[in-house]
């Protein structure tokens, strides 16, 4: 995967001065090859594009312009996979699943340039066919050439959508690059009414925009962090700074651990726990699912003096990351523990954050491939896990204590339904979230809270607050 751009086999071979030296070929296009390697990592090894791409860009040291193009290509082609496959399926004479996986990824990459970027046909087709020849083999280049020429002849996205002739949710899914089950889930999460319907396309399209980088000022003054980073204070969290661009890893405050990269919605999720009204003692806090430690880091930084923070995660390597995030903090402990069978006694804590494992559908902006990797079948097993974790989290707080239940997803099954089921217990009451975030418009989702990329410029975090009454 690493190293300089490979060349087509024909460009490498040939003995010096030998009689059958093949013709010279131009080196492969570094940006396109890098984008392909990201698609290949995602489809062959379930890699995460947002981790693999920066690694490849670092290793290959592409010019900034090429790096930007590689990013646009990789993220765009991954996001648009559903639409691109619908186009390709029209033009390939066999099921796409029967194609060589590498060829399919390359066809997607070429089709994306034609349909969405309007790269001139000769450039998009020739560079893709070069890649097909080098990576899949010469035998596949004819098919790639023929198919991509037809993609180009079909016009841009609007023209292709018209030709695909979809309507209803299928049209919305193709136009916004989502699978239909997510379109339906967003509709439900937006209320399923006329107002929600009017907002639906905007909400879906917001998943396709590149997110800003958000910083959290943990142990540095926010104004100073904004000045250091050239960013602007975030509109909602008093600790947030939003950046237009640049590499936050280079900032002295980030390097020293005084600040970190954290979505502003995640900051609000951690702050929800701190803002919950509480009577009686307030000295023992727990973050049940803490890895890699983003919210635990903010909780540790903003807790009042005398509060002890316990942070747990089932996965040892995630707990290790939490240790890193909490380095230098006093009065914290990190445990490797399964929140369903915790080592701590019932009623040990005053406040508990349960940032539950979930589908992650609220962060589609950052993880373009997740919308195609996840399926509707993933939801039920997660709901079972979330329900068990919430049950134990409620047992872990003392009577009168509070549990903040949070997911990075707006899907109703893993948000409202899980919280409602817990709230139906006769020893649990729901505390309304919106009054605790009076400065954040449009956060109300019944008694719960919901952030959205299109409304708040954050990930789509769900926020619920439950109190144990006895």
Ligand X SMILES: C[S@@+](CC[C@H](N)C(=O)[O-])C[C@H]1O[C@@H](n2cnc3c(N)ncnc32)[C@H](O)[C@@H]1O
Q: Which positions are annotated as active-site residues?
A: 408
Nearer to ligand X, 226 or 312 (CB): 312
For 136-221, where are the alpha helices, taking DSSP H only?
Answer: 141-153, 157-164, 168-176, 180-189, 194-206
Question: CB 122 → ligand X: shortest distance, Å?
Answer: 46
Nearer to ligand X, 62 or 464 (CB): 464
Binding residue positions for S-adenosyl-L-methionine: 289-295, 313, 338, 355
* Total Cβ atoms within 10 A of residue 180: 16
Q: How far is CA 440 from CA 23, 44, 211, 264, in A?
A: 63, 41, 19, 12
Question: CB 57 → ligand X: shortest distance, Å?
Answer: 24
The beta strand positions in 125-239, using DSSP E, are 213-217, 232-233
How many alpha carbons lie under 13 Å from residue 326 in its C-beta half-sphere?
27
Helix (H) or strand (E) holding 397: strand 397-407
The tokens for 121 are: 């046909």
Nearer to ligand X, 25 or 373 (CB): 373
Question: CB 62 → ligand X: shortest distance, Å?
Answer: 30
Please tell me whether residue 462 adopts helix, strand or coil conformation: strand
Tell me how far apart the alpha carbons of residues 61 and 54 are, in angstroms, rounded to a whole number.
10
Cis-peptide into 437, omega within 30 deg: no
How many alpha carbons lie under 13 Å from residue 122 in its C-beta half-sphere?
0
Nearer to ligand X, 313 or 369 (CB): 313
- For the chain, give the number of residues: 470
As a whole number of angstroms, the longest Cα–Cα distance in the chain is 89
How many alpha carbons lie under 13 Å from residue 338 in its C-beta half-sphere?
4
**Site residues, ligand X (CB under 6 A):** 266, 288-295, 312-315, 318, 338-340, 355, 357, 389
Question: CB 315 → ligand X: shortest distance, Å?
Answer: 4
Nearer to ligand X, 136 or 382 (CB): 382
Check if the beta carbon of residue 110 is closer than 8 Å to that of residue 145: no
Tell me how far apart the alpha carbons of residues 152 and 267 are, in angstroms, rounded to a whole number.
45
Q: Which of 45, 63, 73 is nearest to 368 (CA)?
A: 73
Please tell me whether residue 244 adopts helix, strand or coil conformation: coil
Nearer to ligand X, 339 or 457 (CB): 339
């Amino acid at each position: 995967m690493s190293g300089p751009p490979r060349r087509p086999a024909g460009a490498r071979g040939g003995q010096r001065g030998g009689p059958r030296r093949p013709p010279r070929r131009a080196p492969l296009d570094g940006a396109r090859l890098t984008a392909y390697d990201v698609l290949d990592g995602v489809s062959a090894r379930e890699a995460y594009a947002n981790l693999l791409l920066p690694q490849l860009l670092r290793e290959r040291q592409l010019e900034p312009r090429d790096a930007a193009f590689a990013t646009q290509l990789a993220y765009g082609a991954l996001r648009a996979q559903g639409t691109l496959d619908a186009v390709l399926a029209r033009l390939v004479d066999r099921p796409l699943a029967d194609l060589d996986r590498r060829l399919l990824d390359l066809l997607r990459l070429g089709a994306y340039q034609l349909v969405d970027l309007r790269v001139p046909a000769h450039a998009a087709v020739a560079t893709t066919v070069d890649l097909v020849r080098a990576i899949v083999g010469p035998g596949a280049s004819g098919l790639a050439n023929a198919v991509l020429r037809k993609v180009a002849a079909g016009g841009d996205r609007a023209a292709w959508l018209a030709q695909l002739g979809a309507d209803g949710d299928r049209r919305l899914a193709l136009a916004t690059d989502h699978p239909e089950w997510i379109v339906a889930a967003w509709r439900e999460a937006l209320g399923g009414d006329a107002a929600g319907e009017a907002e639906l396309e905007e909400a879906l399209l917001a998943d396709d925009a590149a997110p800003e980088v958000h910083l959290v000022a943990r142990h540095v003054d926010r104004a100073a962090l904004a000045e250091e980073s050239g960013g602007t204070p975030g509109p909602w969290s008093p600790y947030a700074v939003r950046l237009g661009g640049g590499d936050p890893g280079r900032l002295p405050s980030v390097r020293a651990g005084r600040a970190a990269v954290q979505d502003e919605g995640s900051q609000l999720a951690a702050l929800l726990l701190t803002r919950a009204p509480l009577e009686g003692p307030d000295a023992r806090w727990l973050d049940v699912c803490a890895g890699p430690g983003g919210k635990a880091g903010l909780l540790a930084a903003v807790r009042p003096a005398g509060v002890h923070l316990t942070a747990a995660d089932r996965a040892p390597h995630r707990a290790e990351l939490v240790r890193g995030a909490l380095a230098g903090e006093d009065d914290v402990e990190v445990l490797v523990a399964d929140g369903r069978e915790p080592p701590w006694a019932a009623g040990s804590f005053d406040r508990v954050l349960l940032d539950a494992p979930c589908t992650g559908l609220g962060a589609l902006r950052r993880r373009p491939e997740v919308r195609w990797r996840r399926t509707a079948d993933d939801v039920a097993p997660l709901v079972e896990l979330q329900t068990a974790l919430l049950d134990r989290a409620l047992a872990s707080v003392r009577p009168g204590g509070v549990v903040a239940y949070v997911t990075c997803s707006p899907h109703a099954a893993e948000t409202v339904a899980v919280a409602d089921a817990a709230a139906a217990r006769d020893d649990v009451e729901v505390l309304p979230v919106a009054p605790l975030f009076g400065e954040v418009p449009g956060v109300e989702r019944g008694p719960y809270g919901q952030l959205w990329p299109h409304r708040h410029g954050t990930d789509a975090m769900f926020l619920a607050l439950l109190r144990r009454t006895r």
